[in-house]
Every structure is written in structure tokens, then in C-alpha cells.
Amino acid sequence: MTLSTPTRSPAAPPTGTALLDFRDVAMQFPNGTIALSGVDLTVERGEFVTVVGPSGCGKSTLLRIASGLEKASAGTASVATSRIGYVFQDATLLPWRDVESNVELLAELNGRSKKDRAAKAADAIELVGLTGFEKHLPKQLSGGMRMRTSLARSLTLDPELFLFDEPFGALDEITRERLNDELIRLFAEQQFGGLFITHSVSEAVYLSTKVVVMSGRPGRIVDVFEVPFDMPRDPDVRYTGEFAELVGKVSHALREGHS
């Protein structure tokens, strides 16, 4: 493992303003599977953290603990906000609801008034660029549009902490890049704390302010890279030498952690 990379963050103590603060978090499932061990991770407001790691290393488990769907079996996992957006790998739209009412769902479950949630939904739909598709049913949408709908749905919560579990994994390259840019725009506008899981190293580097590399199961954090490029990111940064170099370093760390 290379610890000498200049961009690697020192194991700085959390400043206390962290939205998400994991200390020595471990996860053992009742069946004995150990999915995570000794994970220290913080996400601050205005930080976009991406996690890369081999399949099955516990990345989804990490998000599930952060969201409260699962309880860590050891360590402390504190989350400083209740406004958590969670974007699943598939869009998880309700097929009998049109775009508008899918986007309204979470506000509806939270007991917001009809007028309130309609306004929220309209804003969110506009933010993700789906204006004009309000009355479309999920089956009439492309994969990318479904994902946008799912994003819009989470946006109605005004999340302070935004969790993404490989949201664009099933999309084609072009759609994925476009959605990456939209996500960056949303991030720049809303300044939430982001925790994003992906299999794609270049997506990780492009999106985030910090890339966390995990080892194979049980998942441990083997490396952390600060990403120096400006936010909101210039799409052309992807074609620079520095970008390629960082992608190389992350890939390298990923390969080492894997073996």
C-alpha cells in the first residue's frame, strides 16, 4: 500500500461538524458474515465522498448503516441529521404512479400537505430536467430518466446527507456522464454532504472531493485520496493528465487492497 501519495489525507480527527461520523464501525451479520471491520469515515457538509471497493466488500452495508436501515454490530456510527436522501441502485419507482406523484411520494409519506408537496415536486422535477414529463409513467421512461426521477424524489427531502448506492451503474456511458454533471451541479447548488458508491474509478474521481478505497471482504478502508480539482467541476478535467494520474493511483490502491 502506498501511503506516500501527496493527496492522501492524514487521519485527522473529525472536526465535530461532520454530518456522518463513523468510528471503528464493524458489521457482522447474524449468519456470521463479517461485512465491515474497523471503518473510520466522516462526511462533512459540502464534502462529496466516493467509496470504491471490490464487489461484496460491504459498500452497500456502509450506506445501510448510515441510513439507519441496519445497525452496526460494533463501533459508533453517528449521523447528525435526519434529512437523509437515499438513492438506490435501481430507480425503485412505483410503476403505477406517474413521475410527478413518484417524486411526491416521500413528502407524502412524511405527511406534507398536497400543495406543499406539489410545489416541492415541481421544483425537484425542474432541477433534474424532467419538466414536461410529469404525467409520464415509469414504463414510458428511459433508464436515465427513471434515475432522474429517483434523484428528484430524494431532492424533495432537502437532504443534508445524500447517500447514493451505485445509482448510475446500470446506465450507458453517455447517460452516466451527463447525470454525473447534473449531480455536480446539484451538489454545488445545495451543498449537501454526499456519500457515493461506485464501481467506476473515473466516476469516483470526477464526482468527489474525497475518494475512499475499500479492501475486499471484510471491508476496511485502505486508502483515502483528496481530489484537488475545483467544484463545480469542469467536464474537461477528465481529459487532463492530473486526472488520469489520480485515476491511476486510485485504481492501483484498489488492486492492492483487493489482493
Ligand X SMILES: Nc1ncnc2c1ncn2[C@@H]1O[C@H](COP(=O)(O)OP(=O)(O)OP(=O)(O)O)[C@@H](O)[C@H]1O
| CA–CA–CA angle 216, 222, 228 (5° rounding) | 125
Q: Measured from the CB atom, is 176 or 217 closer to ligand X? A: 217
Query: Residue from 53, 54, 58, 138 that binds other proteins (CB under 8 A)?
Result: 138
Footprint of ligand X on 62-91 (CB under 6 A):
none
Residue 61 sits in the site that holds ligand X (CB under 6 A): yes
Q: Tell the smallest beta-carbon distance from residue 35 to ligand X (Å).
A: 4
Q: Which strand ranges, in their side-by-side order, compose the sheet holding 193-197?
A: 84-87, 161-165, 193-197, 48-52, 210-214, 221-226
Q: Tell the smallest beta-carbon distance from residue 178 to other proteins (Å).
A: 24
Which residue's C-alpha cell is 488492486?
Answer: 255
Q: How far apart are CA 118 and CA 113, in angstroms?
A: 9
Q: How far apart are CA 197 and CA 253, in angstroms?
A: 16
Selected range binding ligand X among 12-20, 58-66, 128-136, 144-152, rule: CB under 6 A: 58-66
Q: Measured from the CB atom, is 145 or 205 closer to ligand X? A: 205
Residues 6+ apart with CB under 8 A from 242: 228, 229
Residue 217 contact among Mg ion, ligand X, other proteins, none, beta carbon within 5 to 8 Å by kind? ligand X
138, 93 in Cβ contact below 8 A? yes
Q: Measured from the CB atom, is 79 or 152 closer to ligand X? A: 79
Query: Residue from 37, 42, 60, 208 that binds ligand X (CB under 6 A)?
Result: 60
Q: Number of residues in contact with Mg ion, rule: CB under 5 A? A: 1
Residue 101 sits in the site that holds other proteins (CB under 8 A): no
Residue 61 sits in the site that holds Mg ion (CB under 5 A): no
Footprint of ligand X on 198-217 (CB under 6 A):
217
Among candidates 127, 177, 133, which has minimal Cα distance to 152?
A: 127
